[in-house]
């Protein structure tokens, strides 16, 4: 089969479409003919050699895909050849075929396209995990979502609004309209405004219950500053850096703050199954009805994989970059 491969770790020029072996199916797995895959920041890091797949997982890029079931293992119960599915993966999605543990595969609602299906698993499950599965965000809370126009950001805005939350997000000025259209109550231009000051003014100095942060070190102290008492800082990524020279830890004590990191790729399949079950029960009906929708920035032929990486690295995307495989 063909797949996105690399000559070596490095820049986008190392990526190409080449031949590789078909995945061998186990008794609990589903073989999917991939029609669409999606790009994530993890793919960019893996390309550079900074984020290897978990041990035993495919070296091929791709954490989510959609397509048609071609074959099932003997212990697979809920899927049959011909089913339209989307799946969460630890790797391997950017290929003509991918195998997936049956626990990580979801049927695509009839109202959604395969293209939309590829834009759902990684970002919506990450957003749900951060806000509710791990973050325990309560109905009606005020939340701050950094990178509001990203794949996870656009998903998190919608999930939070669906649960009655008041949503503040940060984004560059060109991306404010997208966040507003998704229901964000306040959008802050992180390039020209001090988000902590704006958040405190907007909340009348009460702060927010939870912050979803992808940046890491650069805005760490300001995140603590605008958290409410008993608030949670949920670290999802460290795109801006990991080292803080010095900072005042007193607010952690006086406001009883919780700082939590969360990842998804390296979690066990049992954990991912629980997350998928919770998401399917709570939000899949909203996706099927159109109340919530995956935001797709662009659909590129997977032969244009280098351009896809360049677009994401330049922070030009609003929502998901989807790759058309078939």
Contact, 38 vs 61, CB < 8 A?
no
**Ranges of each domain in the chain:** 2-121+294-324, 135-261
Please, are residues 225 and 253 in contact by the beta-carbon 8 Å criterion? no
CA distance 168 to 199: 8
Beta carbons of 36 and 66 less than 8 angstroms apart: yes
Spell out the per-residue pLDDT of the chain, length 326, in tens.
Answer: 999 999 999 999 999 999 999 999 999 999 999 999 999 999 999 999 999 999 999 999 999 999 999 999 999 999 999 999 999 999 999 999 999 999 999 999 999 999 999 999 999 999 999 999 999 999 999 999 999 999 999 999 999 999 999 999 999 999 999 999 999 999 999 999 999 999 999 999 999 999 999 988 899 999 999 999 999 999 999 888 899 988 889 999 999 999 999 999 999 999 999 999 999 999 999 999 999 999 999 999 999 999 999 999 999 999 999 999 99
In CATH terms, the fold of domain 2-121+294-324 is Quinone Oxidoreductase; Chain A, domain 1 (3.90.180)
How far apart (Å, rounded) are the C-alpha atoms in residues 145 and 214? 9
Which pLDDT value is given to residue 198?
98
Class of domain 135-261: alpha beta
- Helices 121-128, 269-282: crossing angle, 10 deg rounding: 90
Spatial separation of the C-alpha atoms in residues 270 and 134, rounded to whole Å: 15
């Amino acid at each position: 089969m063909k797949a996105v491969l690399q000559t070596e770790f490095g820049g986008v020029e190392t990526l190409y479409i080449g031949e590789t072996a078909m995945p061998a199916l186990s008794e609990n797995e589903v073989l999917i003919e991939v029609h669409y895959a999606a790009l994530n920041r993890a793919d960019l890091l893996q390309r550079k050699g900074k984020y290897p797949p978990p041990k035993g997982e495919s070296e091929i890029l791709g954490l989510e895909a959609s397509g048609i079931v071609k074959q099932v293992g003997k212990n697979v119960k809920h899927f049959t050849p011909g089913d339209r599915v989307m799946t969460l993966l630890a790797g391997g999605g950017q290929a003509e075929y991918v195998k997936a543990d049956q626990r990580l595969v979801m049927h695509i609602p009839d109202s959604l396209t395969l293209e939309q299906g590829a834009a759902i698993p990684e970002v919506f499950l990450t957003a749900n995990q951060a806000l509710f599965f791990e973050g325990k965000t309560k109905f009606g809370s005020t939340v701050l979502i950094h990178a509001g126009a990203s794949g996870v950001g656009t998903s998190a805005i919608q999930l939070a609004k669906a649960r009655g939350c008041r949503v503040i997000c940060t984004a560059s000025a060109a991306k404010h309209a997208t966040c507003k259209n998704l229901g964000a109550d306040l959008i802050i231009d992180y390039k020209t405004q001090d988000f902590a000051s704006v958040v405190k003014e907007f909340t009348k100095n009460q702060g927010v219950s939870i912050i979803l942060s992808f940046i890491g070190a650069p805005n760490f102290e300001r995140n603590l500053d605008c958290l409410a008492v008993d608030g949670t800082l949920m670290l999802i990524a460290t795109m801006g850096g990991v080292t803080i020279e010095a900072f005042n830890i007193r607010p952690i004590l006086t406001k009883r703050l919780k700082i939590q990191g969360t990842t998804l790729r390296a979690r066990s399949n049992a954990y991912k199954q629980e997350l998928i079950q919770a998401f399917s029960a709570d939000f899949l009906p909203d996706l099927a009805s159109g109340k919530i929708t995956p935001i797709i920035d662009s659909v590129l032929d997977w032969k244009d994989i280098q351009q896809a990486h360049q677009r994401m690295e330049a922070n030009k995307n609003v929502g998901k970059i989807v790759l058309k495989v078939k």
